[in-house]
Amino acid sequence: MTTTDTAATSRVGTLALTGLAPLVWGSTYAVTTEFLPPDRPMFTALMRALPAGLVLLAATRVLPRGRWIWRTAVLGLLNFGAFFPLLFLAAYRLPGGVAAVLGAAAPMFAVVFTALLMRQRPDGRKLLAGVIGIVGVSLVVLRATAALDLVGVLAGLFGAGSMAAATVLAGRWGRPEGVGPLAITGWQLTAGGLVLLPLALVTEGAPPALDGSAIGGYLYLGVIGTAAAYAMWFRGLSRVPATSVAFLGLLSPLSAAVIGWVWLGQALTPLQLLGIAIALGGTLLGQTGGRRIARREDVVPQPLPDAVPERAGALLPTPARAA
């Protein structure tokens, strides 16, 4: 096998593993409606982010240092502190299908942000793929009775833009040397969760009483739907172009539709099946063209004689073992 073949195989494997993240995210709606307390979107967003982030911090025992402190704050805000509230606001003010279509605009935002960051013309194939993806998702989720609400529409668009900006920046910055995807996921979840904590307390008050089903639902969303899924997502962003990863997000509403059909008994019409095929085509087309964004971490300059290299992360002190 040639080097080119090996690289292509590695890329396909990375995309396949990264694509598991939006497939898992597609289960969020079913879990939320079937197991979680109603009308607590901010609390749910908080429970998805902060506990998982703190657990990952304790498990990896690595904290951000230097420039990665502000980078983590920015990514945590975009990925969780802003995106989660905007996502739920759009979901509560719009029919689910409309909110999903607005979310499907994220790859288009990612193409634009990448073009601005690299100061180059947007990739035509990726723009076409974005349009195809939106059309496909629309056929799957939109209904004739869908209504529009200006606040909900703006929340959906800003949420898609926030997610796209985080995707592009994460692809641009990569990860600090020696820091794995679980650690950087924990950093961002904690940063975003700390933003969500006061918002949840102010808007919804004290946490609701939780039964066994709710606890299980929150554990699933926190461990599988957030910590593990975002670790796979961030791992992919460090290995393939951000715009390619962004198009994998189209799999989330498709996954939600299939889960609703299999688990909740919701019917899939021939038009929806056509929409799934079209959206998958847009996802595949979105993997062509473009190039990986060069990151500063990819180039290792020779330090000056008196230079002191910046440490990207530091281990937390290990507790002394009991005698």
Q: Which two tokens stand for residue 205?
A: 């008050």
pLDDT confidence tier of residue 39, bands split at 50, 70 and 90: confident
CA atoms within 13 A on the CB side of 166: 27
Residue-level pLDDT at 145:
59
Task: Please report the beta strands in 38-154, taking only residues with DSSP state E, as ranges in sequence order.
Answer: 62-64
Q: Is the pLDDT of residue 307 over 50?
A: no
pLDDT confidence tier of residue 316, bands split at 50, 70 and 90: very low
pLDDT tens digits for 251-279?
888 888 888 888 877 777 888 889 889 88
Q: Is 216 exposed, middle or buried (0-12, 13-18, 19+ CB in 10 A)?
A: middle
Average pLDDT, the chain: 81
In Å, how far are 140, 172, 192, 237, 296 from 184, measured between CA atoms?
34, 14, 12, 12, 17
- pTM score of the predicted model: 0.79
Query: Within a 10 A sphere around the Cβ of 157, how many other Cβ atoms?
Result: 17
Q: Which residue has the higher pLDDT, 114 or 99?
A: 114
Name 264's Cβ contacts closer than 8 Å, sequence gap at least 6: 30, 34
Mean pLDDT of 183-200: 94
pLDDT tens digits for 52-70?
999 999 999 999 999 999 9
In Å, how far are 144, 163, 250 from 132, measured between CA atoms?
20, 20, 10
Residue-level pLDDT at 146:
59
With a pLDDT cut of 70, the percent of the chain lying above it is 83
Q: Which two tokens stand for residue 285?
A: 């087309």
Instruction: Tell me if 308 sits within 8 A of 172, measured CB to CB.
Output: no
Instruction: Tell me if 237 sits within 8 A of 21, measured CB to CB.
Output: no
Distance, in Å, from the CA atom of 284 to the CA atom of 266, rounded to the nearest integer, reads: 26
Residue-level pLDDT at 201:
93
- Written as one letter, the residue type at 138 is S
Q: Is the pLDDT of residue 125 over 90?
A: no
Give domain limits for the chain: 35-288
Rg of the chain over all Cα atoms, to the nearest angstrom = 20
Phi first, then psi, for residue 12 (nearest 5°) are -60, -45
> Which of these ranges, 167-176, 181-190, 257-266, has the smallest mean pLDDT?
257-266
pLDDT tens digits for 200-248?
999 999 999 899 999 999 999 999 999 999 999 999 988 888 888 888 9
DSSP 289: S
Distance, in Å, from the CA atom of 129 to the CA atom of 281, rounded to the nearest integer, reads: 8
Mean pLDDT of 101-105: 80
Residue-level pLDDT at 300:
39
pLDDT tens digits for 282-303?
888 888 765 544 444 444 333 4
Query: Within a 10 A sphere around the Cβ of 238, how many other Cβ atoms?
Result: 18
Phi first, then psi, for residue 64 (nearest 5°) are -70, 145
Task: Please report the beta strands in the chain, taking only residues with DSSP state E, as ranges in sequence order.
Answer: 62-64, 313-315
pLDDT confidence tier of residue 3, bands split at 50, 70 and 90: low
Q: Is the pLDDT of residue 81 over 50?
A: yes
Q: Which two tokens stand for residue 273?
A: 């099946």
Among 131, 112, 164, which residue's Cα sits nearest to residue 285?
Answer: 131
Q: Which residue has the higher pLDDT, 313 or 267?
A: 267
Query: Within a 10 A sphere around the Cβ of 302, how many other Cβ atoms?
Result: 6
